[in-house]
């Protein structure tokens, strides 16, 4: 009983908030638009655009600094 309650409390305070599907979709669309702008060769190649998008890695985190939104999306470049 104690360990179950402890795990529940630990999960409640350590987990990041769920990102709404609309916000995730907007971030995905914006990122793909920027990729097409920066790399025009991706404009007519949906498979390459999707591959480039997946290689970037889009991660959501909770905004921590003053002036940031509640949810901040960060891109991680491939190694």
pLDDT in tens, 26-35: 888 988 999 9
Tell which residue, 21, 19, 17, 35, has the closest CA to residue 77: 35
Q: Which residue has the higher pLDDT, 71 or 37?
A: 37
Predicted local distance difference test score (pLDDT) of residue 43: 94
Give the span between the Cα atoms of 71 and 24, in whole angstroms.
10
Length of the chain: 79
The angle subtended at Cα 58 by Cα 57 and Cα 61, nearest 5°, is 130
| Alpha carbon distance 70, 78 (integer Å) | 26
């Amino acid at each position: 009983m104690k360990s179950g309650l402890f795990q529940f409390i630990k999960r409640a305070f350590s987990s990041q908030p769920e990102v709404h599907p609309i916000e995730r979709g907007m971030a995905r669309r914006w990122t793909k638009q920027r990729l097409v702008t920066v790399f025009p060769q991706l404009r007519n190649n949906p498979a390459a655009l999707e591959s480039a998008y997946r290689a970037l890695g889009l991660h959501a985190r909770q905004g921590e600094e003053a002036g940031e939104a509640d949810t901040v999306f960060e891109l991680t470049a491939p190694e």
